[in-house]
Amino acid sequence: MNSPSYNITAMEAGLLSCHGCDLLSARQDSLQQALQCPRCGASLHGRKTNSLARTWALVITAFILYVPSMLLPITTVTSLGKVQSDTIMSGVILFIQSGSWEIALVIFVASIIVPMMKLLILVYLLISVQRKSQWRPRDRAKLYRLTEFVGRWSMVDVYVVTILVALVNFGVLADIDAGPAAFYFAAVVIITIIAARTFDPRLIWDGIEDK
């Protein structure tokens, strides 16, 4: 066993903690009825409701939206009558060609690698929980925390686009418009954050205890 020093979980003890008032109450094993906190009336859950299905749904949504966010142009730059649309990837290539590979690296990591990694991690966690995997639960918990922490940083790209659109607005001389990919990209980031939230990391340990 990976966790020999732990004694008992709230679930095993048949107890529920209220999210609203932290009151510990005994659990009634009734599948049909919703449970309620005897003190404040908040509904009680032993685990996040329907966690796996929700996370799966959101992860799949994020995967679907990831495709247009990469293929469609994220910015449309009008400079002296010259119109140029760039996708995230073509922007990265542009920065590499113009010599600023540091910026290219930042954009590449923040906008392409991080969202993809998050989604892949979530998929792995979901599968491992469903298969009641015993393999290194501590590391998997760490992975989950990393995903949750890193999630919001992908919004940097969306912020950069919004700031550019607001700042660079000189009519014919120079104008930047957000492309359709900006919407899809923001959607991917937000949905991934929600998906990470709906995943219940306690499920990782439940699988181990069941064995």
Where does this chain bind another protein (CB under 8 A)? 31, 50, 53-54, 57-58, 60-62, 64-65, 67-68, 72, 80-84, 90, 191
CB of 28 to another protein, least distance (A): 15
- Which tokens go with 116? 């993809």
Residue pair 118/155 in contact by the 8 Å Cβ criterion: no
Q: Which is nearer to another protein, 65 or 143 (CB)?
A: 65
Cβ contacts of residue 5 below 8 Å, gap of 6+? none
Measured from the CB atom, the residue of 25 and 61 that comes closer to another protein is 61
Q: How many residues does the chain have?
A: 211
The least distance separating another protein from the CB of residue 83, rounded to whole angstroms, comes to 8
Q: How many Å apart are CA 2 and CA 83, to the nearest integer?
A: 59
Q: How far is the CB of 142 from another protein (least distance, A)?
A: 26
Q: Please identify, using beta-carbon distances, which residue of 66 and 205 lies nearer to another protein.
A: 66
Residue closer to another protein (CB basis): 37 or 65: 65
- In the complex, least distance from residue 107 CB atom to another protein, rounded to whole angstroms: 19
SS3 21: coil
Of residues 196, 204, 203, 49, the one with CA closest to residue 119: 196
Which residue lies nearer to another protein by CB, 55 or 111? 55
Query: What is the spatial order of strands in the sheet that 82-86 belongs to?
Result: 82-86, 75-79, 174-178
Q: Which is nearer to another protein, 18 or 187 (CB)?
A: 187
**CA 15, CA 21: separation in Å to the nearest integer?**
14
Least Cβ distance, residue 57 to another protein (angstroms): 4
Using CA atoms, how far residue 46 sits from 49, 122, 129, 176, 189, in Å, is 8, 21, 17, 49, 28
How far apart are CB 18 and another protein at their closest, in Å? 24
**CB neighbour class for 200 (10 Å; exposed up to 12, middle 13-18, buried from 19):** buried
